[in-house]
Amino acid sequence: MSGSLSATNGIRHDGAVADETEMTRLTAWVHGSVQGVGFRWWTRSRALELGLTGSATNLADGRVEVVAEGPKDHCARLLAALRSGESPGRVDHVVERWSEPRGDLPGFVER
């Protein structure tokens, strides 16, 4: 499969629709009151339910960095969950980056 994916609609730049099993890497920086409230545990639980590998890491500036790899549609569901308002704490906004999977993430860990 050639062509890169649009980050928002699952359509490759060459016009073809992405396969639901196409693997990807999502990096999301979650801004808000998300440290010390169970947010990383909640994120790990959602990711494991979706069969994703990766991590949720507290950053020094108060954000949580979420890295997840797996099928694109599963990563998109995790991103939607991060933005849903159903997580512990308060999410003000989420910045996302999509990239090629590296395959270097065993399990899903909290850091």
Question: How does pLDDT run across 17-70, given as a tens digit for each residue?
Answer: 555 679 999 999 999 999 999 999 999 999 999 999 999 999 999 999 999 999
Going by C-beta distance under 8 Å and a sequence separation of 6 or more, which residues neighbour residue 11?
5, 17, 18
Can you state the angle between helices 72-82 and 39-49, rounded to 10 degrees? 150
pLDDT of residue 105: 87
Contact 34, 91 (CB under 8 A): yes
Q: Which residues are catalytic?
A: 40, 58
Compute the distance between CA of residue 30 and CA of residue 66 in angstroms, rounded to an integer. Answer: 8
Amino acid of residue 21: T
| 12 pLDDT higher than 80 | no
Compute the distance between CA of residue 111 and CA of residue 102 in angstroms, rounded to an integer. Answer: 19
pTM: 0.81
In which region does residue 83 sit, left (phi positive, over 0), alpha (psi from -120 to 50) or beta (all else)?
A: alpha
pLDDT of residue 9: 44
Domain 23-102, second-level architecture:
2-Layer Sandwich (3.30)
Contact 108, 75 (CB under 8 A): no
